[in-house]
Amino acid sequence: MSAETAHYVTLNTLQFALKIPFIGWLIRKQYQSNADASYRFVGIDFPNRVGLAAGFDKNAKYLDVMKALGFGHVEIGTVTPLPQPGNDKPRLFRLIPDRAIINRMGFNNDGVERIVERLKNRPKGLIVGGNIGKNKVTANELAVDDYRKCFLALYPHVDYFTVNVSSPNTPGLRALQDKGPLTEILMALMGLRKTFVENGHKQLPILLKIAPDLNQDQLNDIVALTLETGIDGIVATNTTIDRDGLTSAYEHIGAGGLSGDPVYKKSTMVLNHLNQAFEGKVPLIGVGGISSVVEAKGKLAAGAGLVQLYTGFIYEGPALVKACQKL
């Protein structure tokens, strides 16, 4: 079974199992958060400090499953204005000896309108973040319009936003991390948020997700831009294009973002650099290579307030979520 097929077979099986009264009750009882695990972050009370990173539940189809397995928050998406199929298959590859994954999914999702319809029935008690991006066919010069569209549509239905300009799987997307285009996008969203608040809506946090492959100057630009725009925090980090240290044969796979154990050190160094540059005053979410409680604690020690799982969850299962709830 291909990795992508296995992903959806597993999720659909779990979703079906939750509908069986006794089995559903048993799963929820096993993995539910303790009341004392709650944590306040960017003005929101999270049930616990462990969340599901963007890319796992792109279309907000499995929020009930993720809540039952003990996640305190789920970041859906990346959501784009229009539906798009993503890149050609196969596009998801397991590197089992390295406990890693390479993906080049390409923002495959159902589009913001269909995702909004699902969010109208989201489970209570689960924090949901909206990870937003641009369509592949949208030129970078017009990217700000795609981010605006997603922001406007999702605002009444999510708890916070993450701006994704760091995926390596949409051509040219990472160029939006440059100071000029990124300033335009973030300032546009901050302006829209101000309008929402003036019309009686709650002020939702806006975070920026960055790549682990930025150099020192680029990281310093991110720090300056965060302070200049007044966004609420950083998600560090996305997948890497680096292949250093892999023991698995990967040459036949081709392009894609690498996640899992090999990215832990690199992503944590970025996290620590940001925390020091911000003097601990800007909220950070730590993502990348967490496959044990020790590594999750390493992210917290580097400055993260919350952690997110993806590849570690695939390899370790929900027991990792349960263990990380105690952070």
CATH code where residue 23 lies: 3.20.20.70
Residue tagged active-site, from 167, 259, 267, 291? 167
- pLDDT in the model for residue 34: 81
pTM of the model: 0.97
pLDDT tier for residue 33 given thresholds of 50, 70 and 90: confident
Of the listed ranges 29-33, 79-83, 100-104, 195-199, the one predicted with least confidence: 29-33
Dihedral-angle region of residue 197 (phi above 0 means left; psi in -120 to 50 means alpha; beta otherwise): alpha
Task: Please say if the pLDDT value at position 35 is more than 80.
Answer: no
Distances (CA, A) of 99 to 31, 38, 75, 89, 185: 24, 30, 22, 21, 35
* Whole-angstrom distance, CA of residue 138 vs CA of residue 254: 24
Residues of the chain with pLDDT > 90: what percent?
Answer: 98
Q: What are the residues facing 312 on neighbouring strands?
A: none
pLDDT tier for residue 36 given thresholds of 50, 70 and 90: confident
Residue 70 CB burial class (10 angstroms; 0-12, 13-18, ≥19): buried
- pLDDT in the model for residue 195: 98
* Tokens representing residue 74 in the block: 């789920």
- Residue 267 a catalytic site member: no
Which residue from 129, 139, 134, 130 is spatially nearest to 80, judged by alpha carbons? 134
What's CA 258's distance to the chain center, in Å? 14
Dump pLDDT digits (tens) for 129-185: 999 999 999 999 999 999 999 999 999 999 999 999 999 999 999 999 999 999 999
Number of folded domains that form the chain: 1
- pLDDT in the model for residue 90: 96
Dump pLDDT digits (tens) for 253-263: 999 999 999 99
Q: What are the residues facing 44 on neighbouring strands?
A: 41
Owning domain of residue 243: 3-324
